[in-house]
Amino acid sequence: MTASAQTAPKATTDTTLPPFAHSYAELPEQFYAEIPPTPVPEPYLLRLNQALIAELGLDADWLAGADGVAMLAGNRLPATAKPIAMAYAGHQFGNFVPSLGDGRAILLGEVIDRRGQRRDIQLKGAGRTPFSRSGDGRAALGPVLREYILGEAMHGLGIPTTRALGMVATGEAVFRERPEPGAILTRVAASHIRVGTFEYFARRGDRDAVRTLADYLIQRHYPELADSDAPYADLLAAVATRQGELIARWLLVGFIHGVMNTDNMALSGETIDYGPCAFMDAYDPNQVYSSIDHFGRYAYGQQPSIGLWNLTQLANCLLPLLDEDTEAAKTKARSALDAYGKAFEPAYYGGLRAKIGLMDDGTDAGADDELVTDLLGRMAQHRADFTNTFRLLADARPDDPSSLEPVRAGFTDPAAFDAWAVQWRERLARQPEPDAERQARMRALSPAYIPRNHRVQEVIDAATERGDLAPLEQLLAVVSRPYEDHPAQTEYRRPPREHEVVHQTFCGT
């Protein structure tokens, strides 16, 4: 569909910019709306992601220049850009909304990175689209900063994620609870196809569009399925496998997405849409930070079951492609969805065992699972910090009680840890592995640094209230390399003091 006309951005001088490709925009017109960004009055560059620029094979000097900044602001587009807003629906907190779509994000096109991978380039906060409903199509600086930080932190943790190519200020205010400085984030993703994209067409009874989208998803992200005898069932299983592994990895670092609506589940297997997300401080499986999650639907410990719930909605969309007989299609869908648990359980429980230094010798995984589950229960009861407990445990030596002191000090009742540590030492004694090797394995799985909520808020406050980006640079320096020790920045490992605790995080809309 074609949107109503609005002020079009001017063309840039883009001789150094690789031409955009448009494989998604080559799909039928009901998949998107053609819409240019709305120019902003006084854009200026806040930050470029130099590492990602190099990965994409782009010209950093051009991006930092007048034409590059104008492109990142949506004021001037390269001649090869074809700006579109993608159509999708979604279940939001369990309630189906038939038409959501990109209400403030505009896809400029795709580039092929240095590894030969196709990547979307999208402007988030670029103005109203036909899917904006009552929204203003803009983004405030605070949420843009949060998404930039969280994306780089997740990338540093080795977890699949969208990332920010850069941020520009718009020179105008946006209005949320109060006026806030506006900004635009340039988001890079493997793609922006969501569970909700399939829901958009399935709920309209457009079976041809569902098949077209499934074929496109296979071609772009699962090409190994192209010659499958049952490509759509295998596609569902492959997506379920990636999601199971992804959510397991979230849990292993204490990440809470905060708004796991079906329109926020990317079928590429990347983490997408950093709204009211957060990393836990003290371990609590019922932890919720999102200001809009009033009943804990997306609490930390609920994320695995919600992942499967979301995939079930995808399965419902694919049923007509799985078999003409409805009951046979449901049987095939259930079989395909089994891949989720088969991926999640070994990734999560195996990851937990590894985080406490256990080697899988195949003898008694059940007892090992009980040992780590017991630790988590004690951590929850005694308010132990999730990140620090595992990292400090990696630094400990079972034969040296003093090396355990930093871990036990994190429990409100250190004796609770002591009782567990006796069993842990006995278990490690059965492993023929030097302490140094075990510690190296554990440290590679347990980060020293996460973007703690109070630190992210400090960055947002400094930038929005004083225009000071120095705290952003300091935080990015540690969270982009989270498994390394940063002796001069150990303060970033500290949990929040009582007056620093962030109880709620917020969406940017």
| HSE-up (13 A, CA, CB side) for residue 31 | 21
Q: Are residues 228 and 308 in the same domain?
A: yes
Cβ count within 10 A of residue 272: 23
For the cut 70, the answer to whether the pLDDT of residue 14 exceeds it is: no
Same domain, 255 and 176: no
Q: Where are the alpha helices (DSSP H) in 356-487?
A: 365-381, 386-395, 405-408, 414-428, 435-443, 453-466, 470-479
Rounded Cα–Cα distance for residues 477 and 149 (Å): 10
Q: Place 7 in a pLDDT band, splitting at 50, 70 and 90.
A: low
pLDDT for 11 beyond 90: no
User: Looking at residue 495, what is its pLDDT?
Assistant: 96
Percent share of the chain, pLDDT over 90: 91
Would you give the DSSP letter of residue 3?
Answer: P
pLDDT given at position 10: 73
pLDDT in tens, 326-373: 999 999 999 999 999 999 999 999 999 999 999 986 667 789 999 999
Confidence of residue 177 (pLDDT cuts 50, 70, 90): confident
Task: Assess whether 84 and 217 both reside in one domain.
Answer: no
What's the confidence (pLDDT) of residue 3?
Answer: 46
- Continuous segment of H or E residues that includes residue 186: strand 179-189
Residue type, 304: P
Domain count, the chain: 2
Average pLDDT of 138-153? 97
202 shares a domain with 148: no
- pLDDT per position as a tens digit, 23-77: 999 999 999 999 999 999 999 999 999 999 999 999 999 999 999 999 999 999 9
Is the domain of 27 the same as that of 168?
yes
Residues 223 and 337 in one domain: yes
70 within a domain of the structure (yes/no): yes
Query: Can you tell me the distance from the alpha carbon of 284 to that of 382, in angstroms, rounded to the nearest whole number?
Result: 10
Q: Note the pLDDT of residue 12.
A: 63
- Residues 162, 305, single domain; the answer is no
Does the pLDDT value for residue 509 go beyond 80? no
Structural domain includes residue 207: yes
25 and 92 inside one domain: yes
Average pLDDT of the chain is 95
Sort 264 into a burial class: Cβ within 10 Å, 0-12 / 13-18 / 19+: buried
Q: Is the predicted pLDDT of residue 253 greater than 50, yes or no?
A: yes
Q: Which of 314, 334, 353 is the last residue of a domain?
A: 353
Question: Quick one: pLDDT at residue 304?
Answer: 98
- Among the residue ranges 223-237, 325-339, 420-434, 450-464, the one predicted with the least confidence is 420-434
Same domain, 31 and 152: yes
Residue 495 CA to residue 410 CA, distance in Å, equals: 10
**pLDDT confidence tier of residue 6, bands split at 50, 70 and 90:** low
Give the contacts of 236 (CB within 8 A, at least 6 positions apart): 311, 314, 315, 318, 322, 333, 336, 337, 339
pLDDT at 364: 75
> In this structure, are 223 and 173 located in the same domain?
no
Q: Is residue 407 part of a domain?
A: no
The whole-number pLDDT of residue 5 equals: 41
∠ CA 226-227-230, nearest 5°, is 90
- Domain span holding position 314: 196-353
- With contact defined as beta carbons under 8 Å apart, do 356 and 370 qualify? no
Catalytic positions, written as ranges: 263
pLDDT at 216 over 70: yes
Distance set, CA 274 to CA 148, 304, 433, 467 (Å): 9, 18, 40, 22
| pLDDT on residue 18 | 82
Question: What does DSSP assign to residue 306?
Answer: H
Whether residue 81 is contained in a domain is answered as yes
Domain membership of residue 376 (yes or no) is no
The torsion of the CA quartet 108, 112, 118, 124, rounded to 10 degrees, works out to: -30
Q: What is the SS3 assignment for 7-21? A: CCCEECCCCCCCCCE
Domain boundary among 353, 377, 395: 353
Residue 364 lies in a domain: no
**93 falls in which pLDDT band (50, 70, 90)?**
very high
pTM for the full model? 0.95
The answer to whether residue 391 scores a pLDDT higher than 50 is yes
Mean pLDDT check: name the lowest of 144-158, 201-215, 338-352, 395-409.
Answer: 395-409
> Distance of alpha carbon 425 from its chain centroid, rounded?
36
Q: At 1, is the pLDDT very low, low, confident or very high (cuts 50, 70, 90)? A: low
pLDDT band per the 50, 70, 90 thresholds, residue 2: very low
Q: Give the whole-angstrom CA distance, residue 241 versus residue 235.
A: 10
Q: Where are the alpha helices (DSSP H) in 3-96?
A: 50-56, 60-64, 66-73
Indicate if 180 and 223 belong to the same structural domain: no
293 shares a domain with 169: no
Query: Is 92 inside a domain boundary?
Result: yes
Of the residues 157, 192, 227, the one at which a domain ends:
192
Supply 471's token pair: 């705290």
In a domain, 422, yes or no: no
Quick one: pLDDT band at residue 15, thresholds 50, 70, 90?
Answer: low
pLDDT at 13 over 80: no
